[in-house]
A and B are shown apart, each in its own frame.
Chain A
């Protein structure tokens, strides 16, 4: 616990991430490059969907990351509420933009996959609707953070709102089991094991790992930016206060 809390020190975090980020970036580039090669030159066309199945290799990792980002935000929110740690607040705040971006990718690629396969870009079924709600949740949380100053109270309100929104995550996951949906049921993360052919599963898992490394790299970079932004804000306030004191001294000088 002591080691964990020392890692959560912003200065230690900045030093540690400086070393980790190149490795994460390289892992993301290598895995995504290998994954794209497998997708476009090795993996077979689906017997029903043909080449359109290639959209799956970006749609599914984006969907996983959209939910993963929210789980990161939920964990960070617990860190804010229980330990009141500023780094947890920075992690919670910065994950929202990334989560929104990956949810956007999931919705757009799903729509582009749906048109040739279902004959429509959009249908109000449970999976699609709950994913759209997740996107709106992200936008709402981003807007909420922008309207509030960096105060402990603001961080706690955002953390509570994030915890309330977590109810959408199991709904997304189990929507295809609980309701009759046009969206297919889970074929990778399911109780009986994956039902997808190995020739498609491996490229999908490699693309997912590459996307996860990318997400982690972007998140660490965004947290670093948030730490820098708070330092800039603090120094600006100090400079303004010193300027006011200096100004007050100058005003007093003639009288002295």
Chain B
């Protein structure tokens, strides 16, 4: 096969890797954001219960 087709092969693997990395990064960043938000809310709820 001529060398010109390596461009298609590398592009296919590149698009796949980029899509998977975007998915993984999105999920990890969302997990970090939600964990921080949950910890903050639980702390606030705990403080409110102590006040009551």
Contact residues of A with B, CB < 8 Å? 45, 49-52, 54-55, 58-59, 62, 97-98, 101, 104-105, 108-109, 112-113, 115-116, 214, 218, 221-222, 224-225, 228-229, 231-232, 235-236, 238-239, 242
Contact = CB atoms under 8 A, between A and B. Distances in A.
Contacts, number: 82
B35 to A, nearest CB: 7
Given A51-B6, A225-B34, A58 B13 contact: yes
Given A101-B20, A218-B23, 12 more contacts: A49-B1, A52-B1, A62-B16, A101-B19, A101-B23, A109-B16, A112-B9, A225-B27, A225-B34, A228-B34, A232-B41, A235-B42
Q: Main secondary structure on chain B at its contact with chain A?
A: helix
A59 B19 CA distance: 13
Interface of B: 1-2, 4-6, 8-9, 11-13, 15-16, 19-20, 23-24, 27-28, 30-31, 34-35, 37-38, 41-42, 44-45, 48
A49 B2 CA distance: 10
A221 B25 CA distance: 11
A150 to B, nearest CB: 14
B1 A232 contact: no
B42 to A, nearest CB: 7
Given A52-B9, A58-B13, A45 B1 contact: yes
Contacts of B6: 51
Contacts of B28: 221
A146 to B, nearest CB: 15
A54 B35 CA distance: 40
Given A50-B1, A50-B5, A54-B9, A235 B27 contact: no
11 contacts: A52-B9, A55-B8, A101-B23, A105-B15, A108-B15, A112-B15, A116-B4, A116-B5, A221-B31, A225-B34, A235-B42
A238 B5 CA distance: 59
Nearest to A48: B1
A108 B12 contact: yes
A48 to B, nearest CB: 10
Contacts of B45: 235, 238-239
Contacts of A242: 48
Given A58-B13, A112-B8, A225-B34, A105 B27 contact: no
A218 B16 contact: no
A232 B8 contact: no
B26 to A, nearest CB: 8
A218 B27 contact: yes
A29 B41 CA distance: 35
